[in-house]
Structure formats: structure tokens, C-alpha cells
Structure 1
Amino acid sequence: MRHRITTSAFLLGALAFGVTACSTELGEAPADKEAGADHGAIANAAELAEPRLGLTSIDPTGAVSHLDLLDESVTDIGTVGEPEAMTTDGRYLFAQTADGIEIIDSGVWTWDHVDHFHYYRAEPRLIGFVRGQGETTVATTNLSTAGGTGLFFPDSGEAVLLDTEALSKGEISEKFRISTEPGAGMVVPVGSFALVTEGTGSSASVVGYTAEGERTGLVERCPDAAGTITTRVGAVIGCGDGALLASVQDGEVAVERIPYPADATAPAATSFDNREGRPTVAGLAGDEGIWLLDTREQSWVLLPAPAPLVEATAVDDDDEHVLALTEDGRVLVLDGGGSVIAETPPLVAASIAAGHLPVLIADQQRAYLSAPVERQLHEIDYADGARIARTFTTSTEPALTAETGR
């Protein structure tokens, strides 16, 4: 999961801003499915030279729109149910409503081919609805045209794995729907398999399933399971005693356990965030600091908290930047040892005080911070002394918004 955004967490008004990488289209001809195999291409999508970044938003009434950050055009996509929260993987928006999850395709995405990238644009659209009850946990991968997408409905205990390739064609297809014990849980896609949490508290575990919903025989203990994210190395599942790292090896799911350091006393991370796909992820260690999990090295590092924090994300660039949002509304830029090397003024103090947690998103060059109560969106150059590169004032009611196209 990239970002779970609650109502009032992000505003979209009459804003439009330039991006650091401009998009040049290679052609509007439909992509050849066979030629695009394993590269993220689908029929009727144009391949681009650069990512076509945008802001896709859902207003409080359920109206969905997409702002193209290159040409400043706005497309009205349609209307969904009144949203309560939203999760995104950078292409699809999964809107929580009273009766389940509504799925929107922003129409822009990036395919990570490790040593290079492919960028695409297609028509945005409303895909459809998945029925379920409760505040749903959504788990995605880094691929928007292959594999699976996991939904867990806590009120009923239903674990659902969606076919992501079908989503890319505008269809909803459930690979499986399994009944488990009601309560918090996760369905974490791993290649053509999935890991499903079972049990709660100290007795929780994760169980392997095939795409057809058959148990694989894999069972791994994961006390107090909470939080998941996918990196280039594999899928991370947070546990009270560390994390599980799952990947497909020789056609089977392999799970490696990454325990917290033996002398660790800080609380476990219960959510993770990073610059999309990067190996290192960040999660708050209660009020004591920031846990950094390097999935490539399979190691944890605890950075001390320089101030009370509400959010953190790992940029995982050459300078090992980590970004953190403080309770008084400042964005801190930390180095790999936890030292503050730059910071902004308080930008979102009123939002935090009102309980409207802003969203902090990092990409390769900039960070974006929403200011719901202040009705602003800040673009921050974190590598240049946390300089506020642009600030945009919004004029509409609060909306759920995601940066899409990455």
C-alpha cells in the first residue's frame, strides 16, 4: 500500500503547476499487447518518453476528476459513492465508501523494469465496485497491469484478491474471496500468490494461498501483524517482533524473517512509506523515532526522533534522505544517521491541530505536502535546504487526492 488518505487529508482546488520532467509522447497508436509483454503496456495506451504526472481527486460528494500537471487540463471522470478514505498505488484509487471499495483508474502509470522505466497514458475511467464492510485494508504491488491487489474487509473477515491485469482492462475479477475471522487483517499479493493474515494479537500468523484460493502450506508466525508495503525486493508485512519479507523464488513463495535488533525497546512500526519501490522503507517507532527497514540488506536502523513526529517516509536516494513531519507542522530532512540537515517553517500546524493529518509524498526530486485546513499544497525541494519551491492555494472543499502517473 502506498498511501491511505482519509477525508479532509488533501485538498484540490484550481491549482496547476509545472513538473520537473516534461512529457513527450512517442505516439498515440494503440500499444501492441505482445510487444509490451512484461513492460506494462495495454491495448489503446500510448507509451510516453516521460511520466505523465497528475492529481486524481475525489471530492466529498464522490465526484472524480484528474488534473494533468503538464498541460493543466482537467478531466471529469465520473462519480462514486461518498468517500470516507482512499488508498492509491500511483495509478488506481481505491475509495472507501459505506458499502465497500470503489476503484478508479487514473489512466497514467509507470512500469518499473529495474534498470529503466516505461510510461503510459490511457483514458481514465471508473472501473467498478467491490462489496464489503468495514475500514478496508488495501495492499498493492508496484505493477499496475499484472499480479494481484489485496482487500481485507474487517467487519466480515472477508479476504479478497483482485486480478490487477483485469483492472488494467477496466474489469473487476476476484481471484478469490475467503472467509476468515472478523477483525483487522491483510491480503498481501506476492507474484501470483498471496499471504493472508489469520488470528489477532500475539497469535497472529500469515498463511500462503494460490491465486485460486488454495492453501500452499506456508504458515509464518507474525504477532500483532500491521502494515504492508511492496519494494523492488519483495512484499513487507509488519509484525510486532520485526517484519516478514516475501518474494517468489523458483515458483514458490519464500518468506524471510527480519527481526528487530535484540536490544530494541522502541515500539514496532505499524505502517510503512517510501519513495515508490525503493528498497528502504520508514515507519514511526511510536514517539521514540523512525524505524528504517532496508529490505535489500534485511536490517533495521532506529533513527532518534528530533521532535514529536506524525509521519515519516524514506526517500532512499544517494544521500539517504528521510523526510518527517512534526507535530507542529514542520517537514524535517534527515540524513541516514537521523541528524536534521534542513527543515521548513511550520506549514500545516492548523491541519494537525484540527486532526486532519496532511499527506507527505516523496518522489525522486521533490516532496509534496497537503495542508487541508490551510487550503494549500506545498512543493518542497528537500535536496536544496527544504526550500519551498511552490505553494498553491486551493479554493474548493476538501478532497481525497493522489499523485498519479508514477
Structure 2
Amino acid sequence: MIRFRFALTAAAAALLLAGCAAAEPADAPAEDTPAASDHGAHAGAEETGEPQTAILSVSPGGDAAVLDLLTGDESAIGSVGAPSALASDGRYAFVTTTDGVDIVDGGAWSWDHGDHFHFYRGEPALEGSVPGEGPVAVATPPLSTRGATGLFFSDGTAVALDMAALDEGEIAEWFRLDTGAASGVVAPAGNYAIVAAGDTAVVYDDAGEKTGETADCADPSGAIATRVGTAIGCADGALLATTDAGPVEFERIPYPDDAPRTQGFAGREGRPTVAGLSGESAFWLLDTRTRTWTRTEVDASLTDVAAADDAEASVVALDSDGRVRVFGDDGSERGATEPIADEGSTLVVDAQRAYVSVPSSGTVYEIDYADDARIARKLTPEAGLAFSTVVGR
């Protein structure tokens, strides 16, 4: 194991249950849901009765800050490299720079206990950097305190980042491999990480050793942790990887027809159904419970999509005119904003709101997707805005 040490909202749910907040009626939790004795606590962090949601923003120059969605207060964190992309697990921001990936702890996170959640507030911090070259595909685990975050750099380097070590302020790698592939994914699966590159997915343990489990996966692109397991996008469908305190098991979920595949997935944290674009005017929904795909065509040119997977099966999207649009899983339109987004905008969905980051105007729009896509708030981080995400979800 390679180790580097560095010295260094209104959307909140309202239901309080003595430190444990009730979740929505849940599907069976993912196989790597931790034991009851492990609640995601961290030394120095405060457990709270509700989500401590905040906007974590990074300016074009790399200034990172958090804007508290409960109080409206904004706090500077420090500076990272000039960003070209940002991915998040709901706690950490993984910021792509010219030298690799800089990691920012947003200081707020939730912890899925299966039938309820625990919520924590800590100190935002700069955690350090993972060296690498070129654009990077990031895949995060269900919990920010265990498992691995996968990084696949465009030079073919595959890295599994130890999240338990990161929770302690240390950057440690389970492994770093040269795959020789120009694209691929490193997907977390419990105490393992799956490297999918070329036409094969290979399972590694936390010591970087192959476990022997493999599966065919041509042209891998996109990976996401769901309530059921980890979905990996392949040319002919998805691989669903599950583990129940034992070896990883693969199931293939083929596309039902030859419509355009999706190149990535997005959805609410910890839900079984995720979405991905399919061509210009359609989206795929992958239900990992039922192991099925559903393709839905809509009367719009879409640029981004995410599954809310709420009781109404809402799907939130951005269209090419800059509108935020809300659809049902059957394509019925439930609401739309006026044009607010542009080519550089990004979309994040949580249990009650969607957040659309618009760097050109320096604004993050909070959208109530259950109320006709109503704009609930316009947030303007003072530090500047190139990318943002929501932490504490």
C-alpha cells in the first residue's frame, strides 16, 4: 500500500429521531452496509439530527469554500489547483487539476444505516492530492468512511483510494496499476475494487491482489454505487457487482434493444435506480433491484440527467436550451424552469432538491423538483464558481 501523509438546506430533512433520522422506506441495503456498531462517526465531528447540507464550491482559480444551506454562512477552506472537473460522494470533492486530483473534505456527511441515517458535521479541510495525468473518471463508494474511491486517469493509470485512511486525514492507495488502456473505470465494491478496462472487469482486494473474479465488459464507461450494488456501464449493458462479506459476484443486465448506450450514470445517493443519457432526446433508467433497463424518449434535447428515484419516480434533466426539466419515468413532463443553465452547468439531486451549478453567472440554483421545478433559491458563492457540489447529503 502506497501512503502519503499531509499536514495540513432549506433542503434538509425535518424529521428528527434522537440522533438517528428515519430514512424513506428502504429497499434491502447494499451488501456492504456496515454493522450497527459502526455509525460513520469521526473524532471531532458532531452528530446532528438532520442533514448538514452545504454547497462546496471551487472557483476558477481553485479557491474552495462551503456555503451552509441551513444558515447561509460561507466559509473559506483553502486553495487547490485550477479545476477542470469535480466529482463528489456527498462529503469529499475530488477536483481534477493538471497534476492529478486534489481532495477537499466538505466537513458534512450522512451515513446510511439501512433503515435510518446518521448525520455529521466536522471541519472542512484540504486533504491533499493524488498524482495523475489527464482527465480522470471517478467512482465513489456508498459511504465516505470505508471502501475505496476509484480513479481512472486517461493515461491508463488505475488507482483505488483508501477511504478509511482519508477519513483519518491520510491519503493512502490500495493499489496503483498501469492498465495500458485509454479509458476505463475503477469501481468500488465493498472491500474490493473492480478495474474495468479494454474488454474485461477484474476484481482486486485492498492489498492490490487479484481475487480471481472477472467478467466481460467491452468499452467500460461509467460506474455508480447503488442501494443494491455497484453498476458498471459496458457496451452491451451493465455489470452489477455485489458482495456479501465474501467474493464479488457479477450479474449482467443487458440492454433490451440496440438504442444508444449511456456513457455514465447519475442519481440520488443510495437509491437503487439511476439514469443516463441515451442519444439526444432520451434517457435510460437502470433499476438494480429488478435488473431491468427502461428507455424513455422525451420532447427535448437533453444534456444531463439524474434519477431522483422518489415515490413519484422523478427524473431531473437539463436541456440544450438551459431549462431544468422534470419528467416521470414514462416521459411525462412535470415541470420546467425558464432557461437558466449553459454548456458548463452541472446537476446534483438529493432527497428534496436539485442543484444546478451555472459558472457563467456564478449562481447555484436550488430547484424543488417535486413542485413543478420551482426555483426555491438562487445561491451565489462569494469565492467564485467553476464547479460545485452538495455535501451533507
1:188 aligns with 2:187: yes
What does residue 164 of structure 1 align with?
163
What does residue 117 of structure 2 align with?
117
8 Å contact 1:103–1:129 — kept in the other structure?
A: yes
Residues in 2 aligned to 1:196 and 1:117: alpha-carbon distance in whole angstroms: 30
Residues in 2 aligned to 1:145 and 1:56: alpha-carbon distance in whole angstroms: 19
C-alpha offsets along residues 35-84 of structure 1, whole Å, 9 cap, x if unaligned? 98421112221111001111112212222211222222222222222222
What does residue 80 of structure 1 align with?
80
Deviation at 1:284, TM superposition (A): 0.5
1:404 aligns with 2:391: yes
Residues in 1 aligned to 2:14 and 2:244: alpha-carbon distance in whole angstroms: 38
What does residue 139 of structure 2 align with?
139
Deviation at 1:22, TM superposition (A): 6.3
What does residue 313 of structure 2 align with?
320
What does residue 26 of structure 2 align with?
none
Instruction: Select the residue among 226, 230, 235 that pairs with 2:230.
Output: 235
Residues in 2 aligned to 1:84 and 1:323: alpha-carbon distance in whole angstroms: 24
Question: Which secondary structure state, in structure 1, belongs to the residue aligned with residue 165 of structure 2?
Answer: helix
Query: In the superposition, relative to structure 1, how do residues 25 and 339 fare at CA in structure 2: closer, same or farther (>3 Å)?
Result: closer
75-84 or 281-290, which deviates more: 75-84
Instruction: Select the residue among 344, 349, 365 that pairs with 1:378.
Output: 365
Residues in 2 aligned to 1:395 and 1:43: alpha-carbon distance in whole angstroms: 30
Amino acid at match of 1:257: R
Query: In the superposition, relative to structure 1, how do residues 212 and 326 fare at CA in structure 2: closer, same or farther (>3 Å)?
Result: same
What does residue 286 of structure 1 align with?
279
What does residue 197 of structure 1 align with?
196
Deviation at 1:198, TM superposition (A): 2.8
What does residue 177 of structure 2 align with?
178
8 Å contact 2:12–2:52 — kept in the other structure?
A: no
Deviation at 1:24, TM superposition (A): 8.5
What does residue 6 of structure 2 align with?
none
Instruction: Select the residue among 309, 323, 335 that pairs with 2:328.
Output: 335
Question: Which secondary structure state, in structure 2, belongs to the residue aligned with residue 237 of structure 1?
Answer: strand
Q: Unpaired segments of 5 or more residues in structure 1?
A: 1-16, 28-34
RMSD of aligned residue pairs (Cα, Å)? 2.2
Residues in 2 aligned to 1:381 and 1:214: alpha-carbon distance in whole angstroms: 45
Deviation at 1:115, TM superposition (A): 0.7
C-alpha offsets along residues 3-34 of structure 1, whole Å, 9 cap, x if unaligned? xxxxxxxxxxxxxx74454698989xxxxxxx
8 Å contact 1:60–1:83 — kept in the other structure?
A: yes
Q: Unpaired segments of 5 or more residues in structure 2?
A: 1-8, 20-34
What is the total number of aligned residue pairs between the two structures?
A: 371
Deviation at 1:297, TM superposition (A): 0.5
Residues in 1 aligned to 2:291 and 2:10: alpha-carbon distance in whole angstroms: 38
Amino acid at match of 1:196: V
Query: In the superposition, relative to structure 1, how do residues 398 and 390 fare at CA in structure 2: closer, same or farther (>3 Å)?
Result: closer
Question: Which secondary structure state, in structure 2, belongs to the residue aligned with residue 384 of structure 1?
Answer: coil
Query: In the superposition, relative to structure 1, how do residues 319 and 243 fare at CA in structure 2: closer, same or farther (>3 Å)?
Result: same
C-alpha offsets along residues 307-327 of structure 1, whole Å, 9 cap, x if unaligned? 111111111111111112111
C-alpha offsets along residues 80-134 of structure 1, whole Å, 9 cap, x if unaligned? 2222211111100111111111111111100011210000111111111111111
8 Å contact 2:357–2:388 — kept in the other structure?
A: no
- Identical aligned residues as a percent: 48
Instruction: Select the residue among 265, 273, 282 that pairs with 1:272.
Output: 265
What does residue 297 of structure 1 align with?
290
Deviation at 1:397, TM superposition (A): 4.1
8 Å contact 1:306–1:340 — kept in the other structure?
A: no
Q: TM-score scaled to structure 2, two decimals?
A: 0.89
Deviation at 1:288, TM superposition (A): 4.3
C-alpha offsets along residues 204-238 of structure 1, whole Å, 9 cap, x if unaligned? 11111111111111121111110111111000100
What does residue 126 of structure 1 align with?
126
1:389 aligns with 2:362: no
8 Å contact 2:184–2:219 — kept in the other structure?
A: no
Amino acid at match of 1:76: A
Residues in 2 aligned to 1:250 and 1:168: alpha-carbon distance in whole angstroms: 22
What does residue 350 of structure 2 align with?
363
Query: In the superposition, relative to structure 1, how do residues 215 and 366 fare at CA in structure 2: closer, same or farther (>3 Å)?
Result: same
Question: Which secondary structure state, in structure 1, belongs to the residue aligned with residue 243 of structure 2?
Answer: strand
Deviation at 1:141, TM superposition (A): 0.9
Residues in 2 aligned to 1:129 and 1:395: alpha-carbon distance in whole angstroms: 25
8 Å contact 2:83–2:386 — kept in the other structure?
A: no
Amino acid at match of 2:367: I
Question: Which secondary structure state, in structure 2, belongs to the residue aligned with residue 144 of structure 1?
Answer: coil
Amino acid at match of 1:235: T
Deviation at 1:395, TM superposition (A): 6.2
What does residue 44 of structure 1 align with?
44
Residues in 2 aligned to 1:205 and 1:138: alpha-carbon distance in whole angstroms: 18
1:216 aligns with 2:215: no
Deviation at 1:158, TM superposition (A): 1.8
8 Å contact 1:26–1:47 — kept in the other structure?
A: no
Residues in 2 aligned to 1:22 and 1:173: alpha-carbon distance in whole angstroms: 37
8 Å contact 1:270–1:283 — kept in the other structure?
A: yes
What does residue 4 of structure 1 align with?
none
Question: Which secondary structure state, in structure 2, belongs to the residue aligned with residue 127 of structure 1?
Answer: strand
Deviation at 1:346, TM superposition (A): 2.1
Deviation at 1:379, TM superposition (A): 1.9
